[in-house]
Chain A
Amino acid sequence: MTAVTTLDTSTAVTSSRGPRGLLWVMLRLHRWALWFWLALVAVGAGALLWAYGPGADAAWSEYRTLHCDTNDPDLGCDNLGPAYNMYDTVVSIGAGILGLAPFLTAGWAGAALIGRELENGTAQLTWTQSVSPARWLAAKLAVPAALLTAGMLVLTLLHRLLWSTDGPLRAAMGSRSWYEGAAFEANGTLATSYALLGLAVGVLAGLLQRRALPALGLAVVVLALLTTVLGTVRPYLWPLETLTNKHEYPAYIGMVVDEGALTSTGARVSDPICVDDAKCLADHDIVGFYRDYHPSSHFWPLQLVETGIVLAVTALTVLIAFRLLNGRTGAAA
């Protein structure tokens, strides 16, 4: 009789609503990180939406007030007006959150998600509940990954929405091009994949260091190295196109990777900088100029190849993390 009563009370208590098991534990333990992330996404989304609506309208009306779009522009058109500056700053905040999120994620994952738990023994506490270390690590990766992906995709879509409409404004003001770092990443799948890489790097750093602060440092440094290396090889991830021209350089369009002079044999040489000196050009046997570049149509190929590489590195990092944990704890289950 007593056993039945016990069972009844325990089922009565456990039938409360909301997330269960490890998901509840994850959301409860990292409540502040969750709120911080939601707030950050809200700020980013708010900034991008403001820029898309009132910000862009104000910049345009300022542009027209100064008659910058006519043949009789105001002197103020030489400088960017306050409304456009405001617009530009707010867009930078939106894109900046997309660019900063991977580093925040890496530091947080190394320190608070993994490092601190191994340092103070609460990870081991979880492993002696009915949760294997592998399941613990899977939850530690899956829950933040889902929230990061959702938030980053929202911000990316808003950034793309803004980008698709403010082209004339950007052209008029001569700012920000599609291939520039922050805009390039914020307009495609890269921002999200870098955030996931940051998560994986942070988790591995936490497992390696087993202490919060060293893990935070290691995670951020390693992610900075990885992003620098990938940023450097970015232009070579897709075949370049080449423009050539006689007498002068071809038009500067898109992401220019290399440029120089051509001799009569077709060899590429560095520009001797003759300007219009015909004798100088003849002396160096210069018959034309070239530019290697990516047109804007290469945006998606470049974006997707780099995303593939980032996700592959992420997967490898996660695999190493699981193997490391398994080797240490002897947890087959």
Chain B
Amino acid sequence: MRIILCSVFMFFLFPLNIWADGINVGLQLEPPNLDPTSGAAAAIDEVVYGNIFEGLVRIDQNGEVIPGLALFWELSSDGKSYIFHLAEGVRFHDGTDFTADDVRFSFDRARAANSTNAKKYIFAPIANIDIFDDYTIMITLDRAHPDFLFNIGLGDAVIVASESAATNAINPIGTGPFRFKRWVRGDRIELIKNNTYWGAQARLDWATFKIITDPLSAYTAMMAGDIDTFPNYPAPENLFLFDRDPAFEVVVGLTAGETILATNNKKTPFDNILVRKAIAHAINRKELIDGAMFGNAQAIGTHFAPNHPDYVDLTALYPYDLNKARGYLREAGFPNGFKASLKLPPPIYARRTGELVANQLSRVGIHLEIENMEWAQWIDQVLRNRNYDLTVVSHVEPMDINIYANPNYYFGYDNADFQKIISDIDKNGNAAGRAALYKEAQRKIAEDAVNGFLFQLGKYGVWKRGVKGMWRNYPIRSNDLRDVYIEDNG
């Protein structure tokens, strides 16, 4: 009997994880597959970007472009040709050599007619790819595209090998500091250190991404010690519990996610700028941030990341003022307001913000009927068929103000002046000139009150004290673990 009791006891006490030289990373959404060059799921990049796959250049946690597989590059004076000097002695995880041919293969694959690359437009300007030798490659664009360098730092432009490209979705083979070990679908993705990495070696021996969908389970998993770090903790409402616990560190950073009250500018009455201005004045951002995000978000007045050097703070352009809102509504011919629908996608930030927005707009007589929908439904009705009035959603792509220049995008904003600003930015190689144009673009959409600009979605990093080197911000959705280590503090 005593033996049974003992073994039962041991069974419960046996530590699940005895290695301290690796890290368990919590992830709320499971990536559908592990190929970052197909499809758009941010969760793919959250696992593979910088860890398994690398591009010619990398984007760091401040959104800066730094050398990747290209150690340095030269730009021709007309801004059209880049000569990339590639790292030598780099091997893919399956042992094949990395050369200029792989770069050409990757880019040709991404711009091919049957490409399923979600950001195919990145490669559209490429006119010519010339290989000088195995480690020197020249890429010529149809004209100067100053964004090109940043764009090829995105996960959609990582370098893949012709031998493994077709199977990267299930068995990713890259050049990064970690290699793929296995994927227990629905549970976890295991990476191990790449001991033959060409650059500075990763400091962790392994990294396991554990999929924890339920926000409450994210809390218990952290508290139980199953997870060492949650780079983007899904429940802002209980961040304070970690904040006051000395065993954890909470780091609130920014994402590239502008959360907006997207408005159907083609549909009455929202095609009337007076109505949109009334909505802008009726929105109380502080109340939204406190109520929906528990104070952990930054107000925005336009569609631009507040930590970007060219950001203009336009939150005071249409301050919260119910009288002004009512005035604009009267002027627009809706003295008693009107009824409209608000279609909300599933993320909790959207649902909570949407409910508060509906309440705020009701103060000026705009009565919103909330319709909660799944992503697939939302994409079908709102994004694709533009069958909506208002919606709340976060646009997480970095530097995506150019979506306002597309008259067929779901905002339905068709403004020649704005389109000209964006095409000028695209042509302008001068940094100061571009900055001025970006500011002009921000002002234009803010003044036109194209959408309700609410807040920048925060990145809520929670980790055990002693975990070092995690990214603070999400300029792109990446958990680059190459510099992460766990400090031994006894």
Chain A partners chain B: no
